[in-house]
Chain A
């Protein structure tokens, strides 16, 4: 149980375009979803936390207008990287949890390459 999927697994885009990444909880209702960024050979850095039906809470230094997060339902959250630039190239990972549960379940990640 507690499976999280992400789509796409890998995306390549041109600089200046926007990219949407989906995160879905397949067998549970995720009241909270988290978005992380992982640089090569580095740890996960939390970007933002989103609760279903409310605005995401962004970590310091993360541009909310650049990384748009929507958590419209209990099984889906989306991260849109707007006007992507090569420095946005990274591995983006989502995780999900539910109220009262202290464990996060991670998706497989999405590799974004901006040319």
Chain B
């Protein structure tokens, strides 16, 4: 069965610091990869996704993620965080053999201090 792990439960950064959130999955086949963000009191929003092609994908709000197939990883990065990036971040994996079902990681809470 698929599983998704996220390295950190809670990350605390100061504004302008760089961010990297880890995501690893366990599935040997072809996958689609996603990062979703959930701002306080709001619904999940898609940050970025990887289906194929260039393993470095750029998303909204200055986020990017790199797919490293050999490491089964899809880490999320942002060079300089802002207070408004405070949110919960979820990595999700969709394995091609599992239809449209997603498996979500446990989430990482990001707190950015002003």
Contacts and interface: CB of A to CB of B under 8 A. Distances in A.
Chains A and B are bound partners: yes
Give chain A's interface residue range (CB within 8 Å of chain B). Answer: 20 to 34
A23 to B, nearest CB: 12
Given A43-B106, A43-B107, A103-B49, A108 B42 contact: yes
B100 A44 contact: no
Nearest to B32: A102
Interface residues of B, number: 22
Interface string A67-102: 000000000000000000000000001010100001
A84 B42 CA distance: 25
Contact of A42 (B45, B99, B102, B106): B106
A44 B104 contact: yes
A25 interface: no
